[in-house]
Amino acid sequence: MSDSAVKPLGEALLGARRIVVKVGSSSVSGENAAQIPKLVDSLARLRAEGAQVILVSSGAIATGVPFLSLEERPDDLATQQAAAAVGQNILVNRYQRALSTHDLIAGQVLLTANDIENPTHRGNARRSLERLLSLGILPIINENDTVATHEIRFGDNDMLAALVARLVQADHLVLLSDVDALYTAPPAVAGAKRIPFVSFGDVLEGIEIGASQSGWGTGGAATKVQAARLAAEAAVTVLLTETKLFAPVLEGADHGTHFEAGPGPL
């Protein structure tokens, strides 16, 4: 966790071959739906620099809930699935409106845990994503919450994004949420300090990693660290930061936590 190891990732991201960006529910739903055009501006900038970009976006359930006249996330599976069915359509349309200003087209890809675990399905998913990218399409991936169950699912989109990054052999994975970085303790705790860099294999001994702070998201800091390690094992560099700080990072600002990639792809 040495500060001396930290280098701004903006230049590396802008020079990347392939990037997977994951954004959490709380960053793109409710009042924060206004962040979608700004996020898309950053994705478009990466594309303009020559990178192939895949977006893994949470937010289907959170987006759909208000349209079902509900005030909070439903507890029962059937209503969650209904909210996802409504919200996914609205969410992708919001992305497409923003992408259209950059003359970009989105391709919706919904995956289940079985699609990654089953070799045949996994191969089909890889082939589909590779073809979309070769055609200049920006894939937008989410878990297929309309059919996923509590027992058979990724658990959160951080893990899905890490698995997608491994699947397509991405150079970088960017995990965006409402937390700006990994800290030595939950950010609300007095004395908590940002961890700018995590070397490959660092077990983060003595670090208190908190749970989700959002009422909508399912993944907290612990799942993000787990996802980062999963991606790093496949030689993928990982950046964990806040959604609104993504554009400054591309400008060279030092934000977030950078996880070093392993020595080579699995």
pLDDT digits (tens), the chain, 266 positions: 444 344 468 899 999 999 999 999 999 999 999 999 999 999 999 999 999 999 999 999 999 999 999 888 888 889 999 999 999 999 999 999 999 999 999 999 999 888 999 999 999 999 999 999 999 999 999 998 888 765 446 667 999 999 999 999 999 999 999 889 999 888 778 888 999 999 998 888 767 666 544 443 445 788 899 999 999 999 999 999 999 999 999 999 999 999 999 987 65
At 29 the pLDDT is 94
Residue keyed to tokens 């206004």 = 34
**CB neighbours of 85 closer than 8 A, spacing ≥ 6?**
64, 146
Domains parsed from the chain with CATH numbers: 3-259 (3.40.1160.10)
Q: Which residues line the annotated binding site for ATP?
A: 22, 177-178
pTM of the model: 0.91
**CB neighbours of 181 closer than 8 A, spacing ≥ 6?**
194, 195, 196, 240, 241, 242, 255, 256, 257
**CB neighbours of 74 closer than 8 A, spacing ≥ 6?**
61, 65, 80, 83
At 202 the pLDDT is 86
At 210 the pLDDT is 60
- Tokens for 169, please give them: 């052999």
Q: Which residues line the annotated binding site for substrate?
A: 58, 145, 157
Q: Which residues line the annotated binding site?
A: 22, 58, 145, 157, 177-178
Q: How far apart are CA 230 and CA 225, in angstroms?
A: 9
At 153 the pLDDT is 62
Q: How far apart are CA 216 and CA 179, in angstroms?
A: 14
- Tokens for 153, please give them: 């699912």
At 265 the pLDDT is 60
Beta strands in 95-151 (DSSP E): 106-111, 138-143
